[in-house]
Amino acid sequence: MVELIPLLLFAVICIVLMLGFPVAYTLAGTSLLFAGIGLLTGTFDAAFLHAMPNRLFGILSNQILVAVPLFVFMGVMLEKSRIAEKLLRNLGLLFGPMRGGLGFSVIIVGMLLAASTGIVGATVVTMGLISLPTMLRNGYSPSLASGTICATGTLGQIIPPSTALIILGDVLSSAYQQAQLKMGIFSPDTVSVADLFVGALIPGLMLVFAYLLYTGGMALFKPESAPAVQDREPLTPAILIDLLKGLLPPLLLIIAVLGSILSGQATPTEAAGIGALGSLILAIVYRQLNLQRLREVMDGTLQVTSMVFLIFIGAALFSLVFRGFGGEELVHEAFTNMPGGVFGAMLIVMLVIFLLGFILDFIEITFVVVPIVAPVLLAMGVDPVWLGIMIAINLQTSFLTPPFGFALFYLRGVAPADLPTRTIYKGVIPFIVIQVIILVLLAFFPELATWLPDQIYG
């Protein structure tokens, strides 16, 4: 019975989270409760709790995690300063004359916004408020419009540079070192956030291209679902210059951030600093910065950053208690005895993570589930970059899947009341199929995620 305590701990945490309690406090409080019971019954060693101060110091001194508030600042600044709205308007003017052009604009802007924030809720809500009324007003099919916005809003899980990939990369780095030490490798290889960024490029761009292809197909074979914009003003030289002024600076900023990482000129943390400063300069250039807006950006950044680090601290305590009750050995034994070997273990992990995506956010799953399963899978020979990209796309699919997908709830909250929920569900189904196809291709061809990092970083 004692060996089942780790599973009971995990189950209780999931139940408490579903009841709506804050994630950080749930992780820490439930873990401490189980540790206290274990101390009273003699089934838990207090030495595991003694390691908590070192864990806290490690979190606070982790240079990679400094990138989190900087990238969050960059994303919130681009959102609050209405730069994303200006981008959408400019691309709408550019692509408007063609059928499906407004859909193309939404996908491209959604991709850029998702890359800069990495937070599903922020992207879906922003795109829903900006894009959905415009698409419906121009005669777009409600299901196509809502599906496009939901799908592009989840791209922040896979398009670098994103906060989600930074957090996942840091957790996988620790899990990879832990797995190698258990295998007797005392000079372990490392996997970095930059590796994950590069590994995500090809699968992420494949997703974006597939979205564009689907939208183009709908415009071609069902022209009434994605018509051309009728009331667009003619493109005069003055308007084209204005388009370039609104389009190029944000694009150059994201290219500079990502390019500095890929070229090795800057670490993700240094690149995040470039992005934060660049977004501030853009807001000043576009005359969208005032004291009130700066206060809103700082408050938004503080809230998201505090949430992330509090969850990190709670997850560290959960990890120690889970290990103290023998949870790692239990998971390792279950995976090694599973039929199908690595394939069977990977399939079960992907299924569990997909289902947990209905009730937990990406950050929560990254901090709670990944540290449990990743060391075992990595010790079985799974590539860490490939594993990270598989988890990211899997969760992206989960966040889109009815009836519990987070992206659906976020869009429902800002969509017009006369847009039926079933229409939103119907609209995301083709995009779910696209993501499943990409996930299957990635499963059978891991080189889609591992080839580019090998070429760039050897």
Note the pLDDT tens digit of each residue in 86-99.
777 777 777 767 88
Is it the case that residue 257 has pLDDT exceeding 90?
A: no
Least reliable range by pLDDT among 108-122, 179-193, 383-397, 424-438 = 108-122
Percent of the chain with pLDDT over 70: 95
Task: Please answer whether residues 326 and 94 qualify as being in contact, where contact means their C-beta atoms are separated by less than 8 angstroms.
Answer: no
Least reliable range by pLDDT among 107-111, 112-116, 210-214, 414-418 = 112-116
**Total count of domains within the chain:** 1
Is it the case that residue 288 has pLDDT exceeding 70?
A: yes
Percent of the chain with pLDDT over 90: 18
Q: Tell me which DSSP letter residue 319 carries.
A: H
For residue 359, name the pLDDT band (cuts at 50, 70, 90): confident
| pTM of model > 0.75 | yes
Distance, in Å, from the CA atom of 288 to the CA atom of 269, rounded to the nearest integer, reads: 26
Over residues 219-239, the mean pLDDT reads 78
Residue 77 is predicted with a pLDDT of: 85
Over residues 225-231, the mean pLDDT reads 79
Cα of 204 vs its chain's centroid, Å = 11
Please measure the distance between the N-terminal and C-terminal CA atoms of the chain and give it in whole angstroms. Answer: 47
More confident residue, 126 or 324: 324
Residue 36 is predicted with a pLDDT of: 92
Over residues 90-112, the mean pLDDT reads 81
Is it the case that residue 116 has pLDDT exceeding 70?
A: no
The answer for residues whose C-beta is within 8 angstroms of residue 216's C-beta and 6 or more apart is: 100, 104
Is it the case that residue 112 has pLDDT exceeding 80?
A: no
Is it the case that residue 64 has pLDDT exceeding 70?
A: yes
Residue 123 is predicted with a pLDDT of: 73
Query: Which tens digits make up the pLDDT trace of 140-194?
Result: 899 999 999 989 888 878 888 777 888 888 889 888 887 887 777 766 777 888 8
Q: What share of the chain is helix, strand, coil (3-state, %, to 5)?
A: 80, 0, 20
> Which residue is it, tokens 């981008």?
87
Q: Of 308, 309, 325, 303, which Cα lies nearest the Cα of 55?
A: 309
Count of CA atoms in the C-beta half-sphere (13 A) of 220: 6
Residue 231 is predicted with a pLDDT of: 63
Amino acid at 157: Q
The answer for residues whose C-beta is within 8 angstroms of residue 333's C-beta and 6 or more apart is: none
> Which residue is it, tokens 């970095």?
192
CA dist 137 → 130, 141, 250, 272 (Å): 12, 10, 27, 37
Task: Please answer whether residues 218 and 106 qualify as being in contact, where contact means their C-beta atoms are separated by less than 8 angstroms.
Answer: no
Q: What is the mean pLDDT of the chain?
A: 84
- For Cα atoms 6, 7, 9, give the angle at the middle one, nearest 5 degrees: 65
| Domain span including residue 163 | 2-457
